[in-house]
Structure 1
Amino acid sequence: MHPPDTAERAHITEAIQKQQNALASLRITGSPSEVGQGLVSLAELHGMLEEHAQSREHYEEALGFFKTAGNKPGQAQALFGLGVVKAYFEDHRGAIEHMAVAALLFNEARDRDGEALTRACIGESLRALGESDAAEEKYQEALILFRQTRNTERMARLLLDIGDLRMAKAEYEPARKRFLEAVPLLEQGEDPEALALGHLLLGESEGLLGHHDNARPHLLRAVEAYAELHDHVYEARARWDLGLSCYYLQDLAAAREQFEAVIPLYDEQGLRDDVAKVKNILAHFTARGV
């Protein structure tokens, strides 16, 4: 999630003021559950501005109101929000503790999307702690639930996450299968960044398996998408990978084109060693008359 631009920030700030006014009335006339829900809404708005300390304060107060009301779905919402805040502050153990309770409450309420999202976030915190096997287990639990609710967008992102974990273990074939499943789902959605990542990861896994003919079209899609998104870090990664696939396929002219295009992208990032490496490769090409 990107930080809001100036216009978005102004809009969210206005929404926060309106929500604060509504909450002031709710505190007088509303039930504990209504006040709790108002506080959750306020916390979420502060979260959109990355004002996480304020979010935490409102989630904690909301949790108290929901407990007074005996409102378990509301408690689950507040605990999930607190978990997100703790994860932001890199208190991943604390985040997992809150989210584990939230997942149980979502389960009791038969809120499968809520439970699935919570389990996926537990996986994120476990991954941040370096516990990749436990993280994959939580991702798999979330994936099963999202399949039940047919939430294809969430399914696709989880498949990318699971595949990425497998890539880190050098388990390229299982990773490739996950990416192969994710990309068609991403094609149905409206998230160009996720789709670009899907093509990049699928192309990389195919390349690592030696399937350079299969890798090339996916890496080309990734290059084109990241160029349109002006994401030069990932565009450079995709161009380097594509250049390698072209080289292994002995399409040296196409490889040269990608390696030449990657130099200014590396240069922009201050990656001098990488620039030198690519220039050395191009010098070898020139020596071979390419």
Structure 2
Amino acid sequence: MHPPDDTERAHFLQALQKQKNELATLRITGSPTQVGQGLVSLAELHGMLEDHAASRQCYEEALAMFQEAGYKPGQAQACFGLGVVKANFEDHRGAVELIAQAARLFNETKDRDGEALSRACIGESLRALGQPEAAEEKYQEALILYRQTRNTERTARLLLDIGDIRMEKAEYEPARKRFLEALPLLEKGDDAEALALGHLLLGESEGLLGDHEGARTHLLRAVELYQELHDHVYEARARWDLGLSCYYSQDLPAARSQLEAVLPLYEEQGRADEVAKVRNILAHFAARGA
């Protein structure tokens, strides 16, 4: 999740103060379960403001309240939140332990979406720990649950994650199949960032499999989407890949055009090595009269 901009931050701070006021009343009039839910809401707002220490404190108090009340859905929420906080502090082993506890509680309370999200988050932490096979196993478990609940947005995101793991293992054809499966789901949704990533990853897999014409179609769409999102880091990646596909397709003018477009993006990001590489390639093109 991107850091909040000034407008979002002001909105979250206003919501935070409102929630604190409501929680103060709940502590007097509410049951432990109600107080716990108020604390979870407060923890989530602290998380959106990236105040993870305050978020952890609220989740810990909420968990104690839910345990006192014997309220398992709340315990699941609090354990999940605490696991996410651990992940934000880069304690992925601690995150796996807590979120696995949340997954068990979500399973016991028949909350399949909560269980699926937990399993997917465990996968993310396992991946961060350098365990891609174990991560993919958790992603697959989450995928089954999301398909049962017909959550197409989460299904598509997981397909991209699974495909990306396969790309890292140089298993390009299995990766391509996952991206192809995800793309129609993404086209039906309204997550432009995920759609852009889907086109980018599919384009990269097509290129690595030697289908440079097919790659160009998807990479060009990725460039367009990242331009709309003002994401210059991923736009640069997509343009670089597109330039390579144009080059391998023997369309040197198109390749040069993409490299000329990526150069200021690399310069803006201070990526000196990439800037030098692109300048050398453009000089080579100029020497050939391309």
TM-score, with normalisation over the residues of structure 1?
0.97
Amino acid at match of 2:126: L
Output the CA distance in 2 between the equivalents of 1:21 and 1:158: 38
Output the CA distance in 1 between the equivalents of 2:209 and 2:189: 28
Q: How far did 1:273 drift?
A: 2.2
Q: How far did 1:271 drift?
A: 2.0
Output the CA distance in 1 between the equivalents of 2:258 and 2:112: 45
Output the CA distance in 1 between the equivalents of 2:240 and 2:19: 48
Quote the residue 2:143 is aligned against: 143
SS in structure 1 of the partner of residue 146 of structure 2 = helix
Q: How far did 1:286 drift?
A: 2.1
Does 1:288 pair with 2:250? Answer: no
Output the CA distance in 1 between the equivalents of 2:237 and 2:112: 36
Output the CA distance in 2 between the equivalents of 1:218 and 1:99: 36
| 1:175-205 per-position Cα deviation (integer Å, ceiling 9, x unaligned) | 1011111111111111111111110000000
Quote the residue 1:65 is aligned against: 65
- When structure 1 is superposed on structure 2, of 26-35 and 105-114 the one drifting more is 26-35
| 1:18-59 per-position Cα deviation (integer Å, ceiling 9, x unaligned) | 211211121122111111111111111111111111110110
In structure 2, runs of 5+ residues without a counterpart are none
| 1:189-246 per-position Cα deviation (integer Å, ceiling 9, x unaligned) | 1111111111000000000000111101000001111122221111111111111111
SS in structure 2 of the partner of residue 90 of structure 1 = coil
Amino acid at match of 2:58: H
Quote the residue 2:206 is aligned against: 206
Q: How far did 1:257 drift?
A: 0.8
Q: Percent identity?
A: 80
Amino acid at match of 1:192: A
Amino acid at match of 1:39: L
Quote the residue 1:93 is aligned against: 93
Quote the residue 1:103 is aligned against: 103
SS in structure 1 of the partner of residue 270 of structure 2 = coil
Quote the residue 1:123 is aligned against: 123
SS in structure 1 of the partner of residue 289 of structure 2 = coil
Amino acid at match of 1:100: A
SS in structure 1 of the partner of residue 210 of structure 2 = coil
Does 1:279 pair with 2:290? Answer: no
Output the CA distance in 2 between the equivalents of 1:139 and 1:130: 15
Quote the residue 2:254 is aligned against: 254
Output the CA distance in 2 between the equivalents of 1:272 and 1:74: 50
Quote the residue 2:220 is aligned against: 220
Q: How far did 1:172 drift?
A: 0.4
Does 1:19 pair with 2:19? Answer: yes
Amino acid at match of 1:238: A
TM-score, with normalisation over the residues of structure 2?
0.97
| 1:102-132 per-position Cα deviation (integer Å, ceiling 9, x unaligned) | 1000001110000000110101110110011
Quote the residue 1:157 is aligned against: 157
Q: How far did 1:279 drift?
A: 2.1
Output the CA distance in 2 between the equivalents of 1:7 and 1:239: 31
Give the root-mean-square deviation of aligned CA atoms: 1.0
Output the CA distance in 1 between the equivalents of 2:228 and 2:13: 30
Output the CA distance in 2 between the equivalents of 1:203 and 1:281: 22
Amino acid at match of 1:135: A
Quote the residue 1:243 is aligned against: 243
Output the CA distance in 1 between the equivalents of 2:274 and 2:21: 55
Q: How far did 1:11 drift?
A: 1.8
Output the CA distance in 2 between the equivalents of 1:78 and 1:152: 26
